[in-house]
Amino acid sequence: MDILTNRFKAGLVEGRQQIGLWTSLGSPISTEVVAGAGFDWLLIDMEHSPNDLRDIYGQIQAMGEGTARPVVRVPSDDPVLIKRVLDTGAQSLMIPNVEDADQARRVVAATRYAPAGIRGFSQAPRAARFGRIPDYHVRANAEICVLVQVESRRALDNLETVAEVEGVDGVFIGPGDLSASLGFLGQQNHPEVVRTIEEAVARIGRAGKAAGILTPSEELARRYIAAGTRFTAVGSDLGLLARSAEALAARFRGA
């Protein structure tokens, strides 16, 4: 498989379950460690972490020999930032808080070269391996994967029209903000929240798109997979480090 083929996007098209891990520590070292652990994808977070563009660049490089493919969550739908992240070589982007079809179409346009979109042209970014991939600009549009994040009542109301936008490859349900929007702040496992998420997963599937979710709960992860999610993040680097460190300290405290 050549370097331009987006294996994560191909997996969505094929309907394969892809298990992922959230990464927010901002370190290429920790990212390299978890990239080789056997996950299919890693979410590199720019919305709720200290990651900036240089951090993203280094972490994508660090993932080169691992099993996992990078998905970058940008902090907003800013087309300038989207362009710069794509130039680092990221091919799969998650855009937070997409609430209607018009916004989804603008997001897709920001990831495409003209005439299909508005992505700015750069002759030799890292994405084109500094000009060493001669057909990069011809093939790039088809290999970009756009994941839109729905995380509010308004987004749920518009879910089908958002999912049906051409160029949207997957819809990720943000359980934290969604639970808050539904009136259950900090209660992502509340029965009403879980029911709403399962219904949304089914609606996304009926619209012909892949549904995604993040949950550190193994019980909920398996439940959402059974409901139909196709890219499922089952934990985070921060959570693994914090909880494992606490457990180890607790076993020896007072020994």
Which residues are designated catalytic? Answer: 48
Calculate the CA 42 to chain-centre distance: 8
